[in-house]
């Protein structure tokens, strides 16, 4: 799928590219990332290739990420309207101020105004709640977001890193009250993080939320630098973010990933990105790049087609252990519909069920 073959985001008419450019590392304030000039080169190449979806947050590189984006957008008059610009609220920019972060009306309204100033624009296409704020009633957050939409400062809203039950509560509340609904869900999703398949992914598909995975390479753990052969010998640029993911199960996944990459004459990163982007419910995968060369390499994943055998092997190696009742429900079909096929699901015989009608009381 080329980068300019767009998809609608969730239950909305918003067209986005299949890869979203993550701008978390635009600016060097965190000790890693891209300087403004390199960041602008990455943005220009992404747009030239057909990419129109860009994601940032108010707190990324202490606000510099939004400023870099704003400077780039202002270089050409047509850029702003051609880009689907997403940013987030929740993170505090002012330590010591209890209302500087979170999802309360005061906080998110101020955060929106500050983001608009740094981005040098009148509106945000997609405004994310960065995390769930357990100290704020969800109806307050949703009503405040609806007010921003009605004021023309925000076009669409979404949630990131929020439990499925809270997303569902917010979505049902919005439908009931006639407020702006959620159209998207941003969550960590990769071959090394699949527990979201228990609650979050099914919830998103059921409630019309387009999923935009973040960290599809697990902070670089799936990029190809880390293998079973060099275990413990390669320094992790992202420190604990990477090292905490490199356990025995991860190396099992990496073994299969490297094999598929060799067969396809691709990089492990390209295979991992292709796997994520083709998961049910995924709309646009967020990719990061510190250089134009890294961006070019990642974009090639859209041209990759994994074989059914390769997908099956990757699925098996990375299969997660989900919370109750998901493992239990895998056998529910036998109890519900033994010896039948429904929607392609073949249900085996139930040894505890009556063998004949005469055996049933």
- Active site (catalytic) residues: 60
Q: Nearest-CA neighbor of 91 among 66, 62, 116?
A: 62
67-98 exposure pattern, b = at least 16 Cβ within 10 A, e = fewer: bbbbbbbeeeeeebeebbbbbbbbbbeeeeee
Q: What are phi and psi of 318, to 5 degrees?
A: -105, 5
What sign for the dihedral angle of Cα 27, 33, 36, 40?
negative
- For 80-145, what is the HEC assignment? HHHCEEEEEECCCCCCCCCCCCCCCHHHHHHHHHHHHHHHCCCCEEEEEECCCCCCCCHHHHHHHH
320-347 exposure pattern, b = at least 16 Cβ within 10 A, e = fewer: eebeeeeeeeeeebbeeeeeeeeeeeeb
């Amino acid at each position: 799928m080329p980068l300019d073959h767009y998809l609608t985001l969730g239950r909305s008419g918003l067209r986005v590219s299949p890869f979203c450019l993550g701008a978390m590392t635009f600016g060097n304030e965190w000790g890693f990332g891209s300087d403004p000039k390199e960041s602008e080169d990455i943005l220009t190449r992404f747009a030239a290739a057909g990419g129109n979806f860009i994601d940032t947050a108010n707190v990324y590189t202490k606000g510099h990420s939004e400023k870099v984006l704003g400077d780039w957008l202002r270089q050409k008059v047509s850029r702003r309207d051609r880009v689907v610009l997403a940013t987030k609220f929740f993170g505090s920019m002012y330590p010591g101020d209890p209302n500087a972060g979170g999802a309360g009306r005061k906080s998110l309204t101020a955060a929106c105004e500050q983001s608009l100033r740094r981005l040098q624009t009148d509106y945000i296409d997609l405004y994310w709640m960065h995390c769930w704020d357990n100290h704020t009633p969800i109806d307050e957050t949703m009503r405040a977001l609806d007010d921003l939409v009605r004021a023309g400062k925000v076009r669409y809203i979404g949630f990131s890193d929020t439990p499925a039950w809270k997303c569902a509560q917010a979505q049902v509340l919005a439908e009931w009250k006639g407020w702006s609904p959620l159209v998207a869900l941003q969550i960590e999703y990769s071959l090394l993080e699949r527990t979201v398949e228990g609650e979050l992914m099914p919830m998103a598909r059921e409630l019309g939320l387009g999923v935009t995975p973040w960290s599809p390479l697990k902070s670089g753990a799936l990029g190809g630098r880390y293998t079973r052969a060099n275990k413990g010998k390669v320094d992790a640029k992202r420190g604990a973010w990477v090292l905490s993911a490199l356990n025995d199960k991860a190396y099992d996944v990496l073994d299969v990933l490297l094999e598929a990459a060799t067969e396809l004459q691709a990089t492990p990163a390209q295979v991992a990105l292709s796997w994520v982007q083709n998961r049910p419910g995924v709309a646009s995968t967020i990719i990061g790049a510190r250089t134009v060369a890294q961006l070019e390499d990642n974009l090639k994943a859209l041209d990759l087609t994994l074989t059914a055998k390769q997908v099956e092997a990757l699925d098996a190696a990375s299969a997660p252990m989900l919370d109750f009742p998901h493992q239990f429900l895998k056998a529910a079909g036998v109890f519900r519909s033994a010896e039948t096929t429904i929607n392609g699901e073949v249900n085996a015989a139930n040894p505890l069920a009556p063998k004949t009608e005469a055996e049933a009381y």
